[in-house]
Amino acid sequence: MRKNTEGKGFVGAVIITVLVAGFMFMATGGLLVGYFSENPEPFATGVILFVAFLYLAIAVGVVMALYQRWREIRGGEEDEAKKY
């Protein structure tokens, strides 16, 4: 396969990853600080922790997708969809 990698697609991926992961970390922190600063209820605590875990899972998934994209670009595939 020919290598046509010029490094264009990686900058956008990094910017989006930083924005999305940063937003998810801020949302998780705000959710936890806002909830635990008052009198937490036992049932609601489980729901809040579950939602916080989902936010963190999204952030980790975005970072993993960035790593996968970096490996694709390093391997010479600028755009994976061009094969199809």
pLDDT tens digits along 23-57: 999 999 999 998 888 888 888 899 999 999 999 99
C-beta of residue 64 within 8 angstroms of C-beta of residue 21: no
Predicted local confidence at residue 54, as pLDDT: 95
Flag whether pLDDT at 7 surpasses 60. no
pLDDT tens, position by position, 53-70: 999 999 999 999 999 888
CA atoms within 13 A on the CB side of 32: 14
